[in-house]
Structure 1
Amino acid sequence: MTEIIKANSDDAKILTEITKRSKAYWGYSEEQMNEWSDLLTITSEYIQSNEVYKLVINKSTAAYYSYFEIENNSVRLDNLFVSPENIGKGYGKLLMNDFILKIKQSQRSRIILDADPNAQKFYESFGFTKIGQIETSIIDRFLPIMELKLD
């Protein structure tokens, strides 16, 4: 059985594990992963203060996404991570479709996100466009800032 349900505070450890394993999947060095450790940690407080939904497959959490409201009737997709053993099975697409539908139903008009460079094409496949970029701690690496207008 596969379902997308709201995460709770007890999910912090598994969501952090998925985040870190998924990020490492893209070949970042151990040193870089250690530098990002705090940024990739999902706390119980984070789950309580943001909208966090997890994908559960046969009672096991396999992926999740999180977002929060920002100004001008917009939301920011903060995280979307799939455990490495589930990458390429369509679960990212399933989560994105669920997320976009939730935002459309909430009458919000825009989604914004900072994409890992490895995920830019994934987001473009849902209609997101690059509207800027942010320099990162890695030399010559930039995060695309992406937007989807829902008007």
Structure 2
Amino acid sequence: MSDITLRRATADDSRRLTRLVRTSGAYAGEYASMVDGYQVGGAYIEHHPVYVAVDAAGRVLGFYALLLDEAELDLAFVADEAQGRGIGRLLMEHMTGEGRAAGLDSIRVVAHPPAEEFYLRTGARRTGTVPPAGHTHWARPELRFDLTADAA
């Protein structure tokens, strides 16, 4: 992990982040419609705290996007070939630190169903279920990272 660093994403990362989302193995099969045509745009990256995990060669291995006004994790992805190396955990630790620094008490996550266990392992707690809506034809787990001193 010593060769992995986190940095703030820039609009120039848009294509790489979009590719990471669209090629995610977690969105194959029945979930493919969620990322079909999805775009992580430069304006989105510039407007929200988006952080990328990069290796020593500068390759993007994962990223997250936090919506501060909504206190919600909007996006979190780790490249398929980089999973199992602790990158997701590193991203979640950084995300909760950013949330605390911004004065948030908690961060909501509406998770992709296969990712629920990951969020539970990284400190989130299950708070409910979001019913299907729009292009999402399945219920999604709702979780929350508590950021208060008592929860840390």
Shorter-chain TM band = 0.7 to 0.9
How far the C-alpha of 1:26 sits from its partner, in A, is 2.6
- Say whether the 8 Å CA contact 2:27–2:34 is kept in structure 1: no
TM-fit CA distance, 1:60: 1.0
Q: 1:16 to 1:27 in 2, by over 3 A?
A: closer
After the TM superposition, which parts of structure 1 deviate over 6 Å for at least 4 consecutive aligned residues? none
SS of residue matched to 2:50: strand
Please name the residue that 2:60 is paired with: 61
The root-mean-square deviation of aligned C-alpha atoms, in Å, is 1.9
- The CA deviation string for residues 27-79 of structure 1, in whole angstroms up to 9 with x for no partner, is 622x75256324x32011111111100111021111100011235xxx11111
In structure 2, what is the Cα distance between the partners aligned to 1:41 and 1:104? 28
Of Structure 1 and Structure 2, the greater strand share is in 1
User: Quick check: 2:11–2:42 contact (8 Å CA) kept in 1?
Assistant: yes
CA distance in 2, matches of 1:82, 1:36: 14
SS state of the match for residue 70, structure 1?
Answer: coil
- Paired with 1:93 and 1:64, the residues of 2 have a C-alpha distance of 11
Q: 1:106 Cα deviation (Å)?
A: 2.6
- Residue in structure 1 matching 2:12, options 1, 4, 10: 10
SS at match of 2:65: strand
Q: Which amino acid is the alignment partner of residue 67 of structure 2?
A: F
- Alpha-carbon distance in structure 1 between the residues aligned to 2:9 and 2:140: 27
Helix, strand or coil: the match of 1:88? coil
* Structure 1 residues 131 and 34, CA gap change in structure 2 (3 angstroms): closer
Would you say 1:76 and 2:78 are equivalent positions?
no
1:150/1:135 CA distance change after superposition, 3 Å:
same
Contact 2:52 2:60 survives alignment (8 Å)? yes
The letter for the 1-side match of 2:120 is E
Match of 2:123 in 1: 127
Structure 2, unmatched stretches of 5+, are none
Q: How many residues align?
A: 143
Give percent identity, aligned residues only: 24
Q: TM-score, normalised by structure 1?
A: 0.84
Please state how far the C-alpha of 1:138 moved relative to its aligned partner: 5.8
- 2:92 aligns with 96
